[in-house]
């Protein structure tokens, strides 16, 4: 048997599972990945002809240079934080809700109806009603894919994704048709909200930040200390185990997706009445997708979501300043974001595996 001819040499590199890393080592690895990302981003900036140090400095100072800048950063953070909490609810259950964008829009649309046509009631009452209806709007829009998943086992990823485009075009329809601003002299837009329907400012920023922080605490407690939150984790781990324990999986799926959509809906209401003062097609503006990234980077931990969404907002605000100062296209900022994500997510692989060279493992 000419066996040896048939076998090749040992491959140069093999991946080997690591021993469980300590928390500290994991954190060091993650910090290193951010540094590497900044380095790679710097090389990118160098290539297109900028000094990476001044650009990075501008990003940071752009987000914090004045009171107004800080307020603007926070304003970016509010919808991002709220919708990240929303998708976290669904993700804990391993229900891939990619439809935050649409749920944000639906929440905003439901709230806008009251802002435009029922705005004569007292200010606080009006805001409460708008809030409740944004919950209902976002929640129902989250319920649709959950219903079809429970009933016909449809793929929730595609379903929620497609609903985003439906929601977006509902706004376009309202803007060009029934809700068109009569005072806009033919230009298709929805009227600016009456002052009575605008969210108040607290400490110079719209009150949405209070709602966002309250929601963070509520979601944290809900997921960690309530029976329903516990059930969500069980379903997320294994449907078979959940059934075995007598958890009505389908009903849970509906309930959780309603809550997930409802929270995203709140983000829409807060953005429309607190920041935009009107309903624009850009009310979600990609926040629903960024929220997915934020939720995962924060490993579905509400406290960590606050930090990650804050960092994302700095990058966002700083990039816009960078754009106006250096004439650097905002797409370059997207490239930077992409590079950072690539490294941070890539580092998770090295938390669990390591490479071993040829005969490298021997003798250890």
Partner 1 sequence: MAQEKKDTYAIECKGIRKTFGSVVANNNVDLDVKYGEILALLGENGSGKTTLMNMLSGIYHPDAGTIRIGGQEVSINSPTDAIGLGIGMIHQHFKLVDVHSAMDNIVLGTKEKRIRPKELKAKIEEISSKFGLEVDPEKKIYNMSVSEKQTVEILKVLYRGASILILDEPTAVLTPQETEKLFAILRRMKEQGCAIVIITHKLNEVLAISDRVEILRKGESIGTVDTKDIDEKKLTELMVGRPVTLEIDRPERKADAVPEIVIRNLNVERPDGTPGLTNVNFELMEGEILGVAGIAGSGQKELCEAITGLTEIKEGSIVHREEELVGMTFKDIRSRGIRISFVPEDRLGMGLVASMGMVDNVLLKHYQDQQGIFIDRKTPRKMAEKMVKELGILTPSVDTPVRMLSGGNVQKVLLGREIIAEPNVLLTAYPVRGLDINSSYTVYDLLNEQKKKGVAVLLVGEDLDVLLSISDRILVLCHGEVSGIVDARKTTKEEVGLLMTGVKGTKEEKEESTDGSK
The residue (of 268 and 302) whose beta carbon lies closer to partner 1 is 302
Report phi then psi at 256, rounded to 5.
-65, -40
Binding of partner 1 by 240 (CB under 8 A): yes
Name which of 211, 106, 203 is nearest 163 in CA terms. 106
- The rounded distance, in Å, linking the Cα atoms of 351 and 201 is 43
Minimum CB separation from partner 1 for residue 340, in Å?
28
* Residues in 244-263 at the binding interface with partner 1, rule: CB under 8 A: 244-246
241 binds partner 1 (CB under 8 A): yes
From candidates 157, 233, 281, 301, binder to partner 1 by CB under 8 A: 233
Handedness of CA 83, 190, 118, 126 (dihedral sign): positive
Select the residue interacting with partner 1 from 178, 182, 327, 363 (CB under 8 A). 363
Within 292-311, the residues that bind partner 1 by CB under 8 A are none
- Under the binding rule (CB under 8 A), the answer on residue 153 touching partner 1 is no
Q: Which of 9, 117, 185, 186 binds partner 1 (CB under 8 A)?
A: 9
- Alpha-carbon distance of 306 to 78, in angstroms, equals 10
Question: Applying CB under 8 A, does 183 fall inside the site for partner 1?
Answer: no
Q: What CA–CA distance (Å, rounded) separates 132 from 158?
A: 28
Q: Report the phi/psi class of residue 203: left, alpha or beta, with left for phi > 0 and alpha for psi in -120 to 50.
A: left
Q: Is 349 in the site for partner 1 (CB under 8 A)?
A: no
Show contacts with partner 1 in window 13-32 (CB under 8 A).
14, 16-20
**Residue whose token pair is 């509010």:** 78
Contact between 232 and 89 (Cβ < 8 Å): yes
Establish if 12 lies at the interface with partner 1 (CB under 8 A). Answer: no
Query: How would you label 6-28 residue by residue, b for 16+ Cβ within 10 Å and e otherwise?
Result: eeeeeeeeeeeeeeeeeeeebee
In the list 237, 251, 338, 349, the residue contacting partner 1 (rule: CB under 8 A) is 237
- Residues of this chain that interact with partner 1 (CB under 8 A) are 1, 3-4, 6-11, 14, 16-20, 225-230, 233-234, 237-238, 240-241, 243-246, 356, 361-364
């Amino acid at each position: 048997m000419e066996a040896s001819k048939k076998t090749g040499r040992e491959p140069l590199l093999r991946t080997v599972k690591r021993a469980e890393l300590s928390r500290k080592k994991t954190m060091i690895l993650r910090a290193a990945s951010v540094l590497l990302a900044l380095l790679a981003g710097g090389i990118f900036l160098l290539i297109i002809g900028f000094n990476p140090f001044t650009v990075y400095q501008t990003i940071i100072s752009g987000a914090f240079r004045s009171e107004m800048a800080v307020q603007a950063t926070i304003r970016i953070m509010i919808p991002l934080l709220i919708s990240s909490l929303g998708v976290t609810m669904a993700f804990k259950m391993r229900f891939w809700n990619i439809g935050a964008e649409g749920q944000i829009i639906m929440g905003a649309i439901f709230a806008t109806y009251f802002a435009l046509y029922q705005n004569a009631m007292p200010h606080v009452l009006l805001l409460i009603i708008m809030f409740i209806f944004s919950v209902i709007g976002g929640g129902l829009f989250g319920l649709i894919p959950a219903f079809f998943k429970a009933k016909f086992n449809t793929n929730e990823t595609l379903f929620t994704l497609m609903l985003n485009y439906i929601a977006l075009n509902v706004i376009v329809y309202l803007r060009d048709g029934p809700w068109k601003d009569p005072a806009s002299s033919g230009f298709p837009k929805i009227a600016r909200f009456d002052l009575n329907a605008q969210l108040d400012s607290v400490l110079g920023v719209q009150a949405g930040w209070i709602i966002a922080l309250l929601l963070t605490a509520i979601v944290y407690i809900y997921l960690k200390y309530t029976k329903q939150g516990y059930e969500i984790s069980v379903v997320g781990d294994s449907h078979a185990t959940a059934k075995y324990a007598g958890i009505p999986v389908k009903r849970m799926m509906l309930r959780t997706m309603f809550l997930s959509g409802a929270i995203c809906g709140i983000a829409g209401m807060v953005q429309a009445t607190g920041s935009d003062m009107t309903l624009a097609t850009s009310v979600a503006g990609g926040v629903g997708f960024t929220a997915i990234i934020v939720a995962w980077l924060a490993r579905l931990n509400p406290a960590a979501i606050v930090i990650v969404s804050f960092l994302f907002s700095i990058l966002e605000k700083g990039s816009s300043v960078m754009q106006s100062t250096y004439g650097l296209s905002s797409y370059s900022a997207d490239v930077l974001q992409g590079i950072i994500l690539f490294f941070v997510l890539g580092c998770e692989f090295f938390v669990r595996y390591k490479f071993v060279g040829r005969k490298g493992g021997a003798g250890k």
